[in-house]
Structure 1
Amino acid sequence: MRKNLVFVFLIALFATASAGVRTVYTINDRWKFCPGSPFDAQNIGADDSSWETVNIPHTWNNLDGDDEIPGYYRGPAWYRKSIFVDESRENQSAVIVFEGANQVVELYVNGLYVGKHIGGYTRFNFDISRFLNYGKKNVFAIKVDNGYDPNIPPLSADFTFYGGIYRDVYLMFVDKVHLATNDYASSGVYIRTPEVTEKKAVVEITSLVSNDTDSPVEIILENKICDATGKEVKSLRTNLKIASRTTETGIQKKIIIDNPLLWDIDNPHRYQVYTRVYDKKGDVLYDEVSNPLGLRWFEFDPERGFFLNGKPRKLVGNNRHQDYLAKGNALRDEMHVRDILLMKQMGSNFLRVSHYPQDPVIMEMCDKLGIVTSVEIPVVNAVTDTPEFLENSVNMVKEMIRQDFNRPSVMIWGYMNEILLRRPRTDEDFLKSYYPVVEKTARTLENTIRKEDTSRYTMMAYHNAPDFYERAHLTEIPMIMGWNLYQGWYEPDIDEFQRLLDRAHDKYKGKVLLVTEYGPGVDPRLHSYKPERFDFSQEYGIIYHRHYLREMMARPFIAGFTMWNLNDFYSESRIDAVPHVNNKGVTGLDRERKDTYLFYEASLGNKDVLRIGNREWKNRGGVVNTVENTCVQSVPVFSDYPVVELYVNGKSIGSKKCEENIAFFDVPFVNGENVVEAVARKNGKELRDMIRIDFKLIPDDLKNGDVPFTEMNVMLGSPRYFEDRTAEMIWIPEQPYKPGSWGYIGGEPYRRKTGFGSMLGSDIDIFGTDNNPIFQTQRTGLEAFKADVPDGEYSVYLYWAELDTDKKKESLVYNLGADTENGGYSKRTFGLEINGNPVMDKVDIAEDYGFGCAVIQKFIVNVNDGKGLTVGFKRIEGEPILNAIRIYKNY
């Protein structure tokens, strides 16, 4: 009996000692959701029975980028949920925590207005203690609005402004005496390291403690530092008296750690700081939080670059948007984790968190994996000259800094991106007044950051218009200049890139330089052996990234660079090869690794990398071009080994040196399945990689070749290959007709004129198809398409889209002058014949279907007497066109 009493006493003592420890849990599941402004949505008795049931993370714009409807819903929407709160919580403070909701949130609990938060990308919380009914269900009603507001940044940007509660939501219960929850949703604890060397680290800890009771309290504030194994390194206690209904600051200075384990890129050791609040006797634990502590010192030098713990390190990495295919920005934690693991696997050591603070899990992973980070607020493209805009921007800076203050990975705070890209007006009178407004905003944000955090660097990112930024004095303000450069993509001369770097180095003496954005669009379905800028091919992507990496690595004064982007992301205003998507990522929206990713994986110091490129191009095809009835096509292999040997269908085709971590092999593909295997050997170690490819061989001699003809799919006006992955089809480039074979007769490939020369095909969205590249090129002035196919019955599919328009097209500012010049549509009508038989007297694509619409017409044709197939075009008015042709043998 005595033992039982002792046991009960110990349980009670433990319960008393731990009664105040905070409880935090998500309330993500089964919310009622309704877009718009339903009547009385905030009231307890509102009827939400017909509303949609959703789980958080949630956005109402997740599918908008995949439809053909321009624009997306921006406006209010409501979430409702009933939540039971136990009576035991009545003597605690209750807080609801949002990790992110875009962009204005108004909270109601049990029909009562709680508060409002402005800003879509930082955490925020509300104390709801006095609004709850304990021992009962409580109705939470949340209004979220992502509508345009000139006083809330970002005003515009090259990404979709998703609406919704797109990150986790928590309920938190803490003792009435607790570490502050009212300081910009921070942890209430700030850790500084004013001195760090290999021999000694000095740590200072500031803690904010709140007393929500009606009486003053005396407490003991404890900070315990443990190493990565959990072993205690230092512990310090301070007595503190706190008046009722106030928050006090407790500072513990000069905690010294001898021979510290340093946080580094290769070995990111993290200590953990446990901050605890006890009663004045030290018997009862009121509250506890933990924060990471990374001991490191760093420096940016204008000539020599970046140094971490006294050692030079080139910062190489990515920008990252929080998008995923068909999910928008509403991602589970593990999807964020996966992205940072992808970065680390690729060899990145630097993340520019752009253009807004992201999920806390992202920052946690950067701490864990040794990835240096820059975080910025979303002041993009332009500012508004109002006190409200400036106040909102300053609040975003404070939230960003205080929420991630203790992150060892964070070394840069950013606050403006390409801020003069979308100047509201360009007339001189306006600019004379606008530039000072931008400068005032910049200096206010710069001063706010330096006051909040003296230990880190500040940065602004500019686009390639230095004169604009100099006139506004913006090049003088931040500690680091970031340059977003796209020579060889928007601008034609890729060699202008390195000239710009050298000019910036000479001109802005004493300034640290980073390349904060660079990259070409790449659609992994597109390939070309005549690559050119803006063709979106995998092959041009490699040319571009090889050039940029080579030039940046050769210049020590470039402290680091972040490619644009880790992943493709939705941008509603864009068209390109994939409508509404910016596909400059080295991975796709679904995180498919493009060849550009494989290139960096092999180039950035990773160990034992061997990857066959074009690995997702599993349905290939081409014309016989050897006497052995094979089709030779180039295949890249990426490796950090010096030499690679390639086997095709079990036979070696030789070895090649890897130059800049790539070896190109001419692979002879046969009809059907091809097994391609790469082998690399070094120092007794062997690496292997293998892919399987289904190849559709098209005979060069359609009648007499050893390979029987079954089908061909040809894109006119295009040197590219396109893989239709849904149908497992391959589209091949056009060729001129030659007897016995196939091809076009007459005409010219369509090329659009831009401010920087002509470019392949069109940049308009083609309605009615998911395969835009098939329709975005064409041959104009075509006389005929001829194929000397053997006798039989064929299905002939003709693909059309009118790429010109009679309407003026608004330029997309993000194309930096590479938009199509507005030119008038010239009416075109033509007749169509197949093997001399008129099949359509008058074809007028624009008149019959409109501009930019996919049109496919199928004809059943009998070919006999060895005459082959001829599709003839008879000019009536203007130039005949054809975008693509598919010829399929039925019998």
Structure 2
Amino acid sequence: MRLLWASASCAALCWSVAATGQTPDARPTVQLSDGWRFKQDDALRGVESPSFRDADWSVVSVPHTWNRVGYYLPDPATHLNRRESINKAQGIGWYRLGFTPSADLRGKRNWLEFDAASRVATVWLNGTLLGTHQGGFSRFRLDATDALRPGERNLLVVKTDNTKPAPGTTTADTLPLNGDFFVHGGLYRPVRLITTDPVHIDMLDAGGPGVYATTQAIDGARATVGVEIKLRNDGSAKAPVRIVTRLIDAAGNVAADAMETLSLAQKSGGNVRQSLAVPNAHLWQGTTDPYLYRLLVEVLSANGRVLDRVDQTFGIRQMRFDPARGLFLNGKPYPLHGVGYHQDREGKGWAIDATDTEQDVAILREMGANTIRLTHYQHGQPIHDLADRYGLIVWDEIPLVSQWTLGGAKQASPGLLANARQQLTEEIRQNGNHASVANWGIANEVDFGNSLPAFLAGAAGTPPDPMPLLRELNTLEHQLDPSRPSSLATCCEGRLFAAGVDVPVTAPAADLGGANRYFGWYYGTPSDLGPALDALHAKRPDQPLAVTEFGGGGATTVHTDNVLGGPVDSRGRMQPEEVESWIHEGNWAVLASKPYLWASWLWAGFDFASTVRQEGDATDINTKGLVTFDRKIRKDAYYFYKANWSAMPTVHVTGRRYVDRALATTEVRVYSNAPSTELLVNGKSIGTLAACPQKICIWPAVRLARGANQVVARGTFPQAQIEDTIAWHVGDDVARAVRIDSGALVAGASSTGHFGSDTFFTGGTAATVDKPADYGKPTVATPIAGTADGAIAATYRKGDFAYRVPLDDGRYTVTLTFVEPSAKPGERIFDVLADGVPTLRALDVAKAAGAPLTALRRSFPVTVRGGLLTLAFRPSKSEAIVSAVEVAR
């Protein structure tokens, strides 16, 4: 089965009419941005009254949020968000604005438009209640005509409420109920006053433009575009009108037009459907040619006066989703690769402006992304406009995330169901005219079943079934927009869980499947992703499949010498930047080999706020972003994708923030899409590699000098050479000795010297005596007797294994640290051999140390020949263990 959806695209409503060459007053607009007074206080009453005094309130500009969430722990002075500036309060925020509209607005219809207010907003004008809107992400409009006083001072009052949903709260039926992101409060998107004639294009159609266009057919060079216009006559007399629609090309020529006349009865509405035949259609071709027309719709009176006008950009295109061959754009294969995206940033939260969004899009385009998953809620118009302009295909979705019931309920409440329907309707109405929008996401990760993670409030007994809600939303999606498919992102189907864990199969509830799978991070290894995807594809071969999330955390101030040296710390502080890169390298190797995938989105484009996270080098930040929360640092993994996805010449040496090296011998990795890449260390060539697989050039066992080291990667392209230079430092202590924290992904602090993480090993597995971190819960250290370096002693390598340590020839002393985790004397016995010669025979750590969890150190001399020392740990009973290896001159 092949699924076909054809759709047209428009950018956001463009209220400026100067470019049309028509009279500029068809729809006057006043931005209400400055001079607001604000107070966050749940206890205030009577604020909507004109007599209420707000002289002591803060003066703010809109967009605005009171929340500041998420901060990095190192170097707080360099960041906008710091521990003392954080505000995670969720509750009621009040906004009051005095303004004087023009007296010319008398006899017109006047509308207040809010691009978003989180998460419930109640609006009064001059003490009159205009209405309440539930949902923090969509545009809504309120009819202010009767309450507005043109030519006089008016008072606009808005109560916003981002209370965390719980049974009995004001937000209990407002999505999202939960999720791995923070819901900021306030008027965080623009507010404006719009004036129309009493006869106008409908302003109250779920916040939509009232003009809806769809590419109905493309036949060779010819295209047919269907347009629906929703009209209102709020006047007191019948109104004969003429509807003129023009499709205008980039040169300003009319490519197609249509005209319709009708008579609108007083206080009533009407719909007009028109068909535009475009004889030589210039198609919207994604990033290769994102061609946009202008769609101009005018409502004219009987004497030709322009009563209303909507002027939008518009792209003609078709998309087809093939379950075996992926996405086709206008009949040609068009593989999608991009990122998941949250709208917040450090210092601003959700109160970003169009410039911020433009910067984010520019960063993603430079990386080579051609798609963005707009998670996990409806995003604003600026990013949709940019996606249209630059040809970025987007996945839109509503905030049905992880949870849809409260207090142990087994099904969604009527209020929540209504809110889900409302938010889906608003998203489709408001964004359905964008060429960039490929599909409508109806939910994310509602298939946890009884495997609920710690940040979700699980109910006792059988978990609620998401399928009734999903079926209803899927039906509604097809009614609202038959031209686009529905989609759904799942977390759990096909994963291996412990006995007794049961997860529902929800993917069939939507047209398109999306799999959020974190192989190598939360479970398994990156190579496990391939078989898991193949199984999903084989189970539903007729459903197009995408990977909607994959990745891992990366702290820019945490580093490892070997990504395989210890277990991934997916819930804790030990999240090296190098592991994030390894996760992405392994996952992309799988994804790039699966032609049936119609898209893949890594998680995530940027670090973002999440109060369920105490991980990496941050508090309340999800550090899976390829770019930091403040947009100052592009992590190494960003350049991996830039080398693979972008045609821009790219050469990037990884590990540039791991400046003070723990080991004088290291692997050097360079992301390069050059035909050939040379590595130089301190001016000496280490060698040239050609056409590196996956654009990863690797030089193993590179020796660094004592002190400063300059590392240069030089890529030779047909046009020119491009270099990337970084600086590493090897301290005197590191130059004199090799110190390895066995079993550690990130080396612990030590009083005896600078340790590297576990490396140079073959065989064995890593383990620790400490209790690992979990959501919001730090690692719990286990006390170890006999040492001041508990962090070093706590981790260990176990099994039958060896270390092959690169060293200059000469005489050394080897010192090994052992800690018996639990065995009794006589239960664990092993030998240690240096270059094949037994040095420690029949070692019984429990017996020699006298007790478990007690450090034991043993030293012996060795002579290194041929630049390599081999230390073998061979068990004769149970498994061999070692907690630290030190080799000093």
Using the size of structure 2 for normalisation, the TM-score is 0.76
8 Å Cα contact 1:119/1:396 also seen in 2: yes
Task: Measure how far apart 1:20 and its partner are.
Answer: 4.2
**The one of 452, 475, 479 aligned to 2:507:** 475
Instruction: Sort the Cα spacing of 1:263 and 1:492 in 2 relative to 1 into closer, same or farther, 3 A.
Output: closer
Task: Measure how far apart 1:777 and its partner are.
Answer: 8.8
The residue type equivalent to 1:545 in the other structure is H
The residue type equivalent to 1:128 in the other structure is A
**Distance in 1 between residues matched to 2:703 and 2:416, nearest whole Å:** 61
Instruction: Sort the Cα spacing of 1:494 and 1:71 in 2 relative to 1 into closer, same or farther, 3 A.
Output: farther
Q: Does 1:550 find its partner at 2:589?
A: yes
Superposed, 1:616-635 pairs within 5 Å as 616-617=657-658, 619-622=659-662, 631-635=664-668
Instruction: Sort the Cα spacing of 1:521 and 1:177 in 2 relative to 1 into closer, same or farther, 3 A.
Output: same
Question: What's 1:178 paired with?
Answer: 200
**Distance in 2 between residues matched to 1:118 and 1:641, nearest whole Å:** 52
Question: What's 2:630 paired with?
Answer: 590
**The one of 770, 776, 783 aligned to 2:786:** 783
Task: Measure how far apart 1:528 and its partner are.
Answer: 1.0
**Distance in 2 between residues matched to 1:441 and 1:580, nearest whole Å:** 31
Instruction: Sort the Cα spacing of 1:504 and 1:325 in 2 relative to 1 into closer, same or farther, 3 A.
Output: same
Q: Secondary structure of 2:316's partner?
A: coil
Question: What's 1:654 paired with?
Answer: 687
Task: Measure how far apart 1:326 and its partner are.
Answer: 2.8
**The one of 629, 641, 658 aligned to 2:674:** 641
Question: What's 1:852 paired with?
Answer: none
Question: What's 2:408 paired with?
Answer: none
The residue type equivalent to 2:295 in the other structure is V
Superposed, 1:678-689 pairs within 5 Å as 678-683=713-718, 685-689=719-723
Q: Does 1:676 find its partner at 2:711?
A: yes
Question: What's 1:612 paired with?
Answer: 653
Instruction: Sort the Cα spacing of 1:779 and 1:691 in 2 relative to 1 into closer, same or farther, 3 A.
Output: farther
**Distance in 2 between residues matched to 1:175 and 1:716, nearest whole Å:** 75
Q: Secondary structure of 2:619's partner?
A: coil
The residue type equivalent to 1:648 in the other structure is V
What count of residue pairs does the alignment treat as equivalent? Answer: 733
**The one of 344, 351, 362 aligned to 1:330:** 351
8 Å Cα contact 2:69/2:88 also seen in 1: no
**Distance in 1 between residues matched to 2:650 and 2:508, nearest whole Å:** 43
Question: What's 1:204 paired with?
Answer: 226
Q: Does 1:134 find its partner at 2:139?
A: no
**Distance in 1 between residues matched to 2:302 and 2:185, nearest whole Å:** 47
Task: Measure how far apart 1:439 and its partner are.
Answer: 1.9
**Distance in 1 between residues matched to 2:20 and 2:317, nearest whole Å:** 39
**Distance in 1 between residues matched to 2:852 and 2:707, nearest whole Å:** 44
**What is the CA deviation profile of residues 805-838 of structure 1, one whole-angstrom value per residue up to 9, with x for unaligned ones?**
xxxxxxxxxxxxxxxxxxxxxxxxxxxxxxxxxx
Q: Secondary structure of 2:432's partner?
A: coil
Superposed, 1:612-761 pairs within 5 Å as 612-617=653-658, 619-622=659-662, 631-657=664-690, 658-665=692-699, 668-670=703-705, 674-683=709-718, 685-693=719-727, 695=729, 697-700=731-734, 718-720=744-746, 733=755, 750-752=768-770
Superposed, 1:378-417 pairs within 5 Å as 378-384=399-405, 385-417=412-444
**What is the CA deviation profile of residues 639-676 of structure 1, one whole-angstrom value per residue up to 9, with x for unaligned ones?**
11132112334443332232210113465555665443
Q: Secondary structure of 1:265's partner?
A: helix
**What is the CA deviation profile of residues 335-361 of structure 1, one whole-angstrom value per residue up to 9, with x for unaligned ones?**
111112222111111211111111111
Instruction: Sort the Cα spacing of 1:64 and 1:427 in 2 relative to 1 into closer, same or farther, 3 A.
Output: closer
8 Å Cα contact 1:750/1:779 also seen in 2: no
Question: What's 2:273 paired with?
Answer: 251
Instruction: Sort the Cα spacing of 1:544 and 1:439 in 2 relative to 1 into closer, same or farther, 3 A.
Output: same
Instruction: Sort the Cα spacing of 1:803 and 1:206 in 2 relative to 1 into closer, same or farther, 3 A.
Output: farther
**Distance in 2 between residues matched to 1:479 and 1:417, nearest whole Å:** 14
Q: Does 1:449 find its partner at 2:477?
A: yes
Question: What's 1:795 paired with?
Answer: none
Q: Secondary structure of 1:500's partner?
A: helix
Task: Measure how far apart 1:489 and its partner are.
Answer: 1.0
**Distance in 1 between residues matched to 2:234 and 2:278, nearest whole Å:** 33
**Distance in 2 between residues matched to 1:659 and 1:607, nearest whole Å:** 17
The residue type equivalent to 2:674 in the other structure is Y
The residue type equivalent to 1:607 in the other structure is M
**Distance in 2 between residues matched to 1:52 and 1:802, nearest whole Å:** 53
**The one of 29, 40, 49 aligned to 1:43:** 49
Question: What's 1:30 paired with?
Answer: 35
Which structure has more RCO (C-alpha within 8 Å, separation ≥ 6)? 2
The residue type equivalent to 2:369 in the other structure is S
Q: Secondary structure of 2:721's partner?
A: strand
Question: What's 2:613 paired with?
Answer: 574
Instruction: Sort the Cα spacing of 1:750 and 1:473 in 2 relative to 1 into closer, same or farther, 3 A.
Output: closer
Question: What's 2:541 paired with?
Answer: 509
8 Å Cα contact 1:716/1:733 also seen in 2: no
**Distance in 2 between residues matched to 1:735 and 1:359, nearest whole Å:** 44
**Distance in 2 between residues matched to 1:274 and 1:161, nearest whole Å:** 37
The residue type equivalent to 2:695 in the other structure is N
8 Å Cα contact 1:719/1:734 also seen in 2: no
8 Å Cα contact 1:151/1:389 also seen in 2: yes
Q: Does 1:600 find its partner at 2:622?
A: no
Q: Does 1:459 find its partner at 2:487?
A: yes
Question: What's 1:356 paired with?
Answer: 377
8 Å Cα contact 2:492/2:503 also seen in 1: no
The residue type equivalent to 2:467 in the other structure is E
Instruction: Sort the Cα spacing of 1:312 and 1:701 in 2 relative to 1 into closer, same or farther, 3 A.
Output: closer
**The one of 308, 328, 353 aligned to 1:287:** 308
Question: What's 1:119 paired with?
Answer: 135
Unpaired runs of 5+ in structure 2?
Answer: 1-18, 72-80, 166-170, 406-411, 451-456, 759-765, 796-848, 857-889
8 Å Cα contact 2:290/2:390 also seen in 1: yes
**The one of 98, 112, 122 aligned to 1:96:** 112
RMSD: 3.5
8 Å Cα contact 1:720/1:733 also seen in 2: no
**What is the CA deviation profile of residues 469-514 of structure 1, one whole-angstrom value per residue up to 9, with x for unaligned ones?**
9985633221111111112111134332211111111111311111
The residue type equivalent to 1:558 in the other structure is L
**Distance in 2 between residues matched to 1:559 and 1:45, nearest whole Å:** 58
**Distance in 1 between residues matched to 2:484 and 2:21, nearest whole Å:** 42
Task: Measure how far apart 1:802 and its partner are.
Answer: 15
Question: What's 1:740 paired with?
Answer: none
**Distance in 2 between residues matched to 1:762 and 1:698, nearest whole Å:** 37
**Distance in 1 between residues matched to 2:272 and 2:109, nearest whole Å:** 21
